[in-house]
Amino acid sequence: MAFGAFRPESPLLKKDYMNKLLYLILSIAFMWAAAQPAMAGNPDRQGEAGAGQLLLNAFPRSAGLHSMNTSLTSGAEAMRINIAGLSRINKTEVVLGHALYLQGTDISLNALGLAQRVGDKGAFGISLTSINFGDIAVTTEDQPEGTGTNFSPSFFNLAVGYSHTFENKVSVGVLFRGISESIQDINSFGFGIDAGVQYVTGPQDNFKFGISLRNIGSRMEYGGQGLSTSGPSPNNGGYNLTYSQRAADFELPSTLDIGLSYDFLVGNIHRLTVLGNFTSNSFSRDQVGGGLEYSLKDMFMIRGGYRYELDPGEDFEAPIYTGLSAGATLAVPLSKENKNVQFAIDYAYRATRVWDGTHNIGIRFNI
């Protein structure tokens, strides 16, 4: 029995093994972040990436902070920001998000997120996001004013992710996403991977740190009958042939986010969270920003953020989203025993360089 403390099933040995695993995960995350000079903001590559919808956010709770809540995002919305936060839920969470993108363009975003706890520490999630472009008139060289018919592109992505929390201090997660873009006769499909880490510490879990690597995946290329054209046969054969054109392939808009936050708590009633975030874009300039979120009993929350692009170029090169964002949440408890069981309504507004900003609204069910 004297050797029982050193058996493989010993809780002491298991805890020591778990701590070593956590330190290893954190070390890998920091090393990965430090070894990303190739991902540093590169204005020379600006506009070369495709699948730009992967950078859009239909969920209002995170949109109110300019999507800079890398360190503290949780639940289904974490699949858009930092997959590591997916497992920080009560049991089940369902989120519906809708955004009026660039008010005045008639473009809207719709998103559905579902997170389900698996075991004591893990969570599985599914997310679906689509873009509605409205009806676009079909034009041709012979009828530049329109043929009288319309079309609407179909852009959507489906993501499946898993996150695990170790000792309530470190969460890690990975997500796989399928990306589809198409019209009637042209389409493109690709795969992307997200990975993330969150670390929580402090006397009341006040301090949070997160790293998220998003949109690392396959190159995409358009194909289909829409790329075919008809032309004269070689050597003046007197008949036409159909030629298939090849489209150039493109990469996904990869990003690396590093964020931290701190909660100032006053009893069990008030919380003021201060956060900062740095975003390294592979195909545009880097961005830095910060934000505040105030919570009253976790039932009413207001938030705001400010994001700035480093080394801004000409006005025509500036991103759509810079400057201010704001949002609010109203949550209603559904259980007297557990305050985490609730229904919530979220709203956000983000100022834009052109048009009249983006409005987000959504609902959340925590069971």
Residue 268 above 90 pLDDT?
no
* pLDDT band at 233; cut points 50, 70, 90: confident
Residue 33 above 60 pLDDT?
no
* pLDDT band at 135; cut points 50, 70, 90: confident
Which residue, chain included where needed, has tokens 């964020």?
Answer: 259
Low-confidence winner among 3-7, 24-28, 259-263 (lowest mean pLDDT): 3-7
Give the list of residues 6+ apart from residue 83 with CB closer than 8 angstroms, or none: 125, 161, 163, 173, 174, 175, 194, 195, 196, 212
Task: Output the pLDDT for position 3.
Answer: 37
Rounded to whole angstroms, how far apart are CA atoms 20 and 211?
19
Rounded to whole angstroms, how far apart are CA atoms 223 and 353?
33
Residue 39 above 70 pLDDT?
no
Residue with more model confidence, 272 or 140? 272
Tens of pLDDT along 307-360? 998 877 666 667 788 789 999 999 999 887 777 789 999 999 999 988 889 999
Q: How many residues does the chain have?
A: 367
Task: Output the pLDDT for position 120.
Answer: 87
Element (H, E) at 42: none
Half-sphere exposure in the Cβ direction for 185 (13 Å, CA): 6
Low-confidence winner among 8-17, 56-65, 106-115 (lowest mean pLDDT): 8-17
For range 64-75, the mean pLDDT? 95
Whether 76 contacts 93, CB under 8 Å: yes
Rounded to whole angstroms, how far apart are CA atoms 325 and 291?
9
Q: How far is CA 217 from the centre of its chain?
A: 15
Low-confidence winner among 24-28, 278-282, 356-360 (lowest mean pLDDT): 24-28
* pLDDT band at 2; cut points 50, 70, 90: very low
- pTM, entire model: 0.85
Task: Output the pLDDT for position 42.
Answer: 59
Residue 138 above 60 pLDDT?
yes
Rounded to whole angstroms, how far apart are CA atoms 31 and 80?
23
* pLDDT band at 28; cut points 50, 70, 90: low
* pLDDT band at 166; cut points 50, 70, 90: confident
Residue 261 above 80 pLDDT?
yes
The per-type count for the chain, helices as H runs and strands as E runs, is 3, 18
Task: Output the pLDDT for position 7.
Answer: 43
Cite the DSSP H helix spans in the chain: 11-34, 60-63, 78-81
- Characterize 216-254 residue by residue with b for buried, 16 or more Cβ atoms within 10 angstroms of its Cβ, and e for exposed: bbeebebeeeeeeeeeeeeeeeeeeeeeeeeeeebbbbb
Map out the domains of the chain as residue ranges. Answer: 7-366
Residue 1 above 50 pLDDT?
no
Rg for the chain (alpha carbons), in Å?
A: 24
Per the prediction, the chain carries an average pLDDT of 86
What is the DSSP pairing of strand 207-217 with strand 154-166? Answer: unpaired
Task: Output the pLDDT for position 91.
Answer: 92
Cite the DSSP H helix spans in 229-342: none
Element (H, E) at 174: strand 170-182
For range 183-193, the mean pLDDT? 92
Whether 113 contacts 177, CB under 8 Å: no
For range 229-244, the mean pLDDT? 76
* pLDDT band at 240; cut points 50, 70, 90: confident
Residue 296 above 90 pLDDT?
yes
Task: Output the pLDDT for position 313.
Answer: 65
Rounded to whole angstroms, how far apart are CA atoms 360 and 303?
14
Fill in the amino acid letter for 278: F
CATH number for region 7-366: 2.40.160.40
Q: Which one, of 311, 312, 309, 306, lies nearest residue 289 by Cα?
A: 306
Q: How far is CA 328 from the centre of its chain?
A: 19
